Structure 1
Amino acid sequence: MAFAYAMNVDKVIQKVLRGDYYRLKQAYQGYGEYTDESIEARPYDIDKVMELMTASGWARGADGIWEKEGKRFSVEVSYSFDEITERLVVLKEEAKKAGVEIRIQKLDNSSAYKKFLEKKHDVAMMAWSTSFHPRYWQTYHSDNAHKPQTNNITNTDNKDLDEVIDRYHNSLDEEERKVLSRKIQRMLHDQANFVPTMMVPYFRQAYWRWWRLPTPPGTKHATDLFDPFDDSLFWYDKARHAETKKAMKKKKAFEPVTIIDETFKPKG
Structure 2
Amino acid sequence: MSFLTIEDVTYSYQQGKDPVLRRINWEIKEGEFHCLLGKSGCGKTTLLKLAAGLLSSDQGRIRLQGKEVVKPSPQCGFVFQTPNLLEWKTVMENMLLPIKLKRKVTKEDKNQALELLELVGLESYRERYPLQLSGGQQSRVALARALIQKPSLLFLDEPFASLDAITREELQDDLLRMCHMHNITVLFITHDIAEAVYLSDVAAVMAQGEIVYQTPVKLERPRTMSMRYEPYFNEICLSLRQAMNGEQS
TM-score, normalization by structure 1: 0.27
Higher relative contact order (CA 8 A, sep 6+): 2
The structure number with the bigger radius of gyration is: 1
More strand per residue: 2
